[in-house]
Structure 1
Amino acid sequence: MEIVGESGFCPSTGIYHSKWDGAALLPPPPAAALPSFLLSAGPPAKAAFVDAASGAALSYEGLRQRTAAAAAALRGLGVCRGDVVLVVSPNSLHFPVVVLGIMSVGAVFSTANFLNTREELQIQIRDSNPVVVVTTSELRPKLLGLVSGPLVLVPELLQLVAQEEAVAAAAAVEGTSPEEAAALMYSSGTTGKSKAVVCTHGNLIAMSCILRQVWLAAHGGDPGEDVYLCAVPLFHMFGFSMFVCGALAAGATVVVLRRYSLEGTLGAVAEHRITRLPAVPPMVNQLARSPHLAEKFDLSSLREVICSGAPLAGDHRDRFRRCFPRITLSQCYGLTETSGPITLCDGVAGKVHASIGRLVPSMEAKICDVRTRRPLPPEQIGELCVRGPPATALGIDDEGWLHTGDLCYIDGRGLVFLVDRIKELIKYKAYQVVPAELEEILSRHPDVADVAVIPHPSSEAGEIPVACVVRRDGSSISEDEIISFMAAKVAPYKKIRRVRFVDSIPRSPSGKILRRRLKEATLEGQRLEISPRL
């Protein structure tokens, strides 16, 4: 098999191979159940999770004991192997305990955004059919009457069984196979309805091993020495894969922030000597726009900010580099369907990374022409398709490839660059317009606080690009000014044809723009007169 340079590309197959494939893989875990694997990783006395506000810590041994307690309590509630248990909760020390406890009885954990409306929660509950819902006292009223089974509060669950009995209970189900379902996660639903994705124990163990291996190789030492700040939601795959799967497999410590705020994040970094901060683009943007606030905190321990969840605009990267020249800003990319990261920047030289990194170990990729499906060589844009052990069955074709729906290219160094979602391309006459490109340009305007570009139907052009703009405080910028600003910077077919001023841009917990909601609001609330500007 001939591989071309550092790109990892094989011309005869059209497949890109991970640069990590030649490295010695860590031994496969003996346990088929994810909890058994993760709970055997860290030193017993070491802190696994720390509450950012109170400083309360849960050691690896304490995590094992509380997981066993949660498992025993769930058995007492009648939860059986294969049952779905839904967790609706903000971040807390209890979150990993509950989800590991659910998997320890052979049940399937599912999560929901605790900020969802009652109607949105009802849709997900009907789809997943949980036998038990675990939540908090604050969220209980929103869930009352939505489930026929018990509605259990987190503290009550952990007190249902005496500690002595819990320790004696088996923490993992005998004979769990890697093919058994461990989690039922829901995708962001950026372009359509949120999809349920089944992740097996094997998928999640593979991802845990991959993260541990890359961190071990990239750090040149023990990744367990790192202290991570969990400021993103644990109910999302990004948070779960990083802080439960990856961090526990590496034997690291995770400091949990209950609710994100910029000041709370900076305070936690300073107080707990955080070394690595996984984040989403709005957090990075907020950091870069608040250097004076950051100066009030000791951030000397922070070595890296890892951004994922959505593309990070170049302007935001540049601003971050100017504000925090000592801190590495890297990106990674993953999907719910791949149980977490597909690419990581670990080991990539430089302080600020425009790429989303290289393929993780055991991951293969193809860049396919969107029209012909022909595999493309380096530097050419097409759909990213991936194949590897963490990938779930959802969206996989007959040859084992998962079609991501994302436009990407891979350069001669094997670095992957994300362009945009295929479904989000705007078809203007005979041209394809990439919304992310226009958004990046518009975000540089001093009067624009946030922006999203969406298509709007046109009988003459097919679709036109429409900019949904959040004005910066005190600005009175007009539609004509924005259109003129863009007209000087892009080709004629890429011009913004109309502008809608909005109060905010709806985003998923991972920072992705929810264009579907903006499109619906545009179609329902406003008829756009577009013909004069075509």
Structure 2
Amino acid sequence: MTSRCVVSLNVVFRTLCQSTKYTNSSVRRKSLWTQDRVLTSPHKNINIPNCTLNEFVWENLDKWPERTVAVCAITGRGYTYEQAFYLSNAFAANLRTKFKIVDGDVVSVMLPNIPDYPLVAMGILEAGAVISSINPIYTAHEVHRQLLVSNAKVVVTLPEISNIVKEAFKLAKIDIPIIVIKTNGDPAPEGTVLFNELSEDVHVDTSCLKKVRRSNNDVCFLPYSSGTTGLPKGVELSHRNIVANCIQISEPAIKQHNETTKTHQDVVMAVLPFFHSYGATVTMFHRMVVGGKIVTLAKLQPEQFLQSLEKYKANILHIAPPLGLLMTSHPAASPKIYQYLEVILNGAAPFAGSDANRLLSKIQRKIDFRQGYGLTETSPVVSLPIIGSEHYSSVGNPMPSTEVRIVDSNLKNLGPNETGELLVRGPQVMRGYKNNPEANRETFTEDGWFRTGDMAVVDDNGDITIADRIKELIKVKGFQVPPAELEGVLRDHPSVLDVAVIGVPHPTNGEAPKAFVVLKNGQNADTKDICNFVNERVASYKRLNDIVFLDSIPKSLSGKILRKDLKAKYC
């Protein structure tokens, strides 16, 4: 499907519907529920090629060699697909020859979103190694722990954070090579190797890459789970897992991209971190598969982000709730800034339907806004609404070749409109947690279903709505109170910008909800006013009477509220 960057709403949706030939009724010709109360996908099963992720990414290279694969939003520095292919191959060859990387070795990548990231990632895979992503704002203590558990052989980072890596080496009592990517004219730190010298090495013999022997069942990506219920765990995602997820999100009824042609190339603004599976698979790997342009932002600076949307004519945007709230409330936000946007996909955490409506009212035209559901352990996408869905609180139906169960505390299957834990089975589900058999036993059922730890409800049409994390549910007099529900109500208050809700001990009720509120600039509201606003809208056991006003809500870079940090500091 070819689409211009600026088109009217009616043209966008008419084109989408004509090209996909899908409507709500055609997708749901029959019930998605089996007799055993298993929810199936409305989409036909996918065929997964027997290839590695890097082979899959480069499969259509000849269709768009001169197109830009990645460009820095601030400096304009970037690469074409052809350049990326040859530079990543040279880097891969040097990893094997100069650093003695062999099949299955782990190479840690501690980088923000820069245009070199896709080249580094592809080079690691082409060398037969495994990408292990590290948050670039981690402390030395956090880095050293991840280096040890992943057994990394090389680290790729920036010169300005190489000292953190060196401190981590001391803590871990290891000494491995550091490769740095220079983004300015500063000299490379002592004891490091320059990435561009490895990738631009015209003398390296790339024939060594013929010795790489990797199957699609081998691990290719080793991100670490957020650790909201304990220390982060290494998530083993295979080539097959990520290839399958790329194919799943290309399903015509749910895809959020246009075909790359002689006259059109999608532009996606990459502000969500590549070290997270959402940014890695949906924004980076999948966009390379379909020939899109990735505009990278190393750091979220609101004015630069908004200006870049307009400057680069970004028509695809992947967000997490904090970014959506920023787009709604920032003084510089305007319909002009958002004039090229055609698709916004929210993920990482739930975005209330009321928040979605506020964002769309700021854009002042009805673009294709959807939110999907997934986890690091599922590569990440589990479900996604069909194109043009206006059920903003829903995360849609299961992806192709994906099954879902809603179960009670005894793992007994529940049916439509019953709330329980969501279980998943599909080709995108991870192999398991690295060297953690205890966590694997807790996470997988005996018959191979993955336990998400999320509470969900599914309607008769198979639309999934996420309620909350099981471990984050607040238990009031035996009733379960989802924090996300109260957060959605709080955001409806005209003075409230952002919120978080946690459960705190209560002498008679077991637990009680406690809210943390960020007010909009220039707005005044007191605890009584906000509590009354919420309590008029919820059942008695969900009522609030405790609010703390903050300047900001602590969140991970993927947009998840750090409830444990709030509990540690305020409870």
Query: Same fold per TM (> 0.5)?
Result: yes
Shift, 1:172, TM fit: 6.6
State the match for 1:38 in structure 2.
57
Question: Any idea what SS the aligned residue of 2:401 has?
Answer: coil
**Residue 56, structure 1, aligned to residue 104, structure 2:** no
Distance in 2 (alpha carbons) for counterparts of 1:73 and 1:447: 56
Question: Any idea what SS the aligned residue of 1:15 has?
Answer: coil
Question: Any idea what SS the aligned residue of 2:485 has?
Answer: helix
State the match for 1:47 in structure 2.
68
Alignment equivalent of 2:303, drawn from 247, 263, 287: 263
When residues 173 and 398 of structure 1 are mapped into structure 2, their CA distance, relative to the original with a 3 A threshold, is farther
Give the residue type in structure 2 aligned to 1:159: E
Alignment equivalent of 1:86, drawn from 68, 92, 108: 108
When normalised by structure 1's length, the TM-score is: 0.89
When residues 188 and 81 of structure 1 are mapped into structure 2, their CA distance, relative to the original with a 3 A threshold, is same
Distance in 2 (alpha carbons) for counterparts of 1:500 and 1:203: 42
Once the two structures are superposed, residues 347-385 of structure 1 have per-residue CA deviations (whole angstroms, 9 ceiling, x without a partner) of 2434x622112211111111112x332212222221111
When residues 173 and 321 of structure 1 are mapped into structure 2, their CA distance, relative to the original with a 3 A threshold, is farther
**Residue 304, structure 1, aligned to residue 324, structure 2:** no
Question: Any idea what SS the aligned residue of 2:222 has?
Answer: strand
What is the aligned-residue RMSD (CA, Å)?
2.5
When residues 171 and 332 of structure 1 are mapped into structure 2, their CA distance, relative to the original with a 3 A threshold, is farther
Question: Any idea what SS the aligned residue of 1:454 has?
Answer: strand
Distance in 2 (alpha carbons) for counterparts of 1:9 and 1:304: 27
Distance in 1 (alpha carbons) for counterparts of 2:210 and 2:460: 45
State the match for 2:414 in structure 1.
376
Shift, 1:218, TM fit: 7.0
Once the two structures are superposed, residues 121-159 of structure 1 have per-residue CA deviations (whole angstroms, 9 ceiling, x without a partner) of 233223223221111011112222322212221250231
State the match for 1:69 in structure 2.
90
When residues 492 and 101 of structure 1 are mapped into structure 2, their CA distance, relative to the original with a 3 A threshold, is same
Pairing 1:103-118 to 2, within 5 Å after superposition? 103-118=125-140
State the match for 1:481 in structure 2.
529
Give the residue type in structure 2 aligned to 1:520: A
When normalised by structure 2's length, the TM-score is: 0.84
Distance in 2 (alpha carbons) for counterparts of 1:85 and 1:367: 38
Alignment equivalent of 1:198, drawn from 227, 236, 241: 236
Pairing 1:341-380 to 2, within 5 Å after superposition? 341-350=381-390, 353-369=392-408, 371-380=409-418
State the match for 1:531 in structure 2.
none
Runs of 4+ in 1 over 6 A off after TM superposition: 215-220
Pairing 1:275-424 to 2, within 5 Å after superposition? 275-290=315-330, 293-295=333-335, 297=337, 299-324=338-363, 325-350=365-390, 353-369=392-408, 371-394=409-432, 395-424=443-472
Shift, 1:166, TM fit: 4.4
When residues 431 and 102 of structure 1 are mapped into structure 2, their CA distance, relative to the original with a 3 A threshold, is same
Distance in 2 (alpha carbons) for counterparts of 1:90 and 1:221: 28
Worse-matched range after superposition: 207-216 or 415-424:
207-216
Shift, 1:411, TM fit: 2.0
Is residue 426–residue 465 contact of structure 1 (8 Å, CA) maintained in 2? Answer: yes
Shift, 1:516, TM fit: 1.2
Distance in 1 (alpha carbons) for counterparts of 2:255 and 2:134: 34
Distance in 1 (alpha carbons) for counterparts of 2:308 and 2:30: 39
Distance in 2 (alpha carbons) for counterparts of 1:167 and 1:212: 36
When residues 146 and 215 of structure 1 are mapped into structure 2, their CA distance, relative to the original with a 3 A threshold, is farther
Give the residue type in structure 1 aligned to 2:180: L
Question: Any idea what SS the aligned residue of 1:483 has?
Answer: helix
Is residue 190–residue 513 contact of structure 1 (8 Å, CA) maintained in 2? Answer: no
Question: Any idea what SS the aligned residue of 2:159 has?
Answer: coil
State the match for 1:129 in structure 2.
151
Give the residue type in structure 2 aligned to 1:431: F
When residues 294 and 73 of structure 1 are mapped into structure 2, their CA distance, relative to the original with a 3 A threshold, is farther
Alignment equivalent of 1:249, drawn from 285, 289, 297: 289
Shift, 1:455, TM fit: 1.0
Distance in 1 (alpha carbons) for counterparts of 2:331 and 2:523: 22
State the match for 1:435 in structure 2.
483
Distance in 2 (alpha carbons) for counterparts of 1:104 and 1:405: 34
Shift, 1:522, TM fit: 2.6
When residues 169 and 216 of structure 1 are mapped into structure 2, their CA distance, relative to the original with a 3 A threshold, is farther
State the match for 1:496 in structure 2.
544
Question: Any idea what SS the aligned residue of 1:467 has?
Answer: strand
Pairing 1:203-242 to 2, within 5 Å after superposition? 203-214=241-252, 225-242=265-282
Is residue 218–residue 346 contact of structure 1 (8 Å, CA) maintained in 2? Answer: no
Once the two structures are superposed, residues 227-274 of structure 1 have per-residue CA deviations (whole angstroms, 9 ceiling, x without a partner) of 211111111111000123211222222222222233222322222222
Once the two structures are superposed, residues 411-444 of structure 1 have per-residue CA deviations (whole angstroms, 9 ceiling, x without a partner) of 2332211111111111112211111111111122
Shift, 1:167, TM fit: 7.0
Is residue 266–residue 292 contact of structure 2 (8 Å, CA) maintained in 1? Answer: yes
Is residue 32–residue 41 contact of structure 2 (8 Å, CA) maintained in 1? Answer: no
Structure 1 stretches lacking a partner, 5+ long? 524-534
Distance in 2 (alpha carbons) for counterparts of 1:218 and 1:140: 37
Alignment equivalent of 1:138, drawn from 160, 164, 167: 160
Question: Any idea what SS the aligned residue of 2:39 has?
Answer: strand
Give the residue type in structure 2 aligned to 1:98: V
**Residue 178, structure 1, aligned to residue 193, structure 2:** no
State the match for 1:530 in structure 2.
none
When residues 215 and 222 of structure 1 are mapped into structure 2, their CA distance, relative to the original with a 3 A threshold, is farther
Shift, 1:291, TM fit: 6.8
Is residue 104–residue 128 contact of structure 2 (8 Å, CA) maintained in 1? Answer: yes
Question: Any idea what SS the aligned residue of 1:427 has?
Answer: strand
**Residue 152, structure 1, aligned to residue 176, structure 2:** no
Percent identity, please.
33
When residues 289 and 161 of structure 1 are mapped into structure 2, their CA distance, relative to the original with a 3 A threshold, is closer
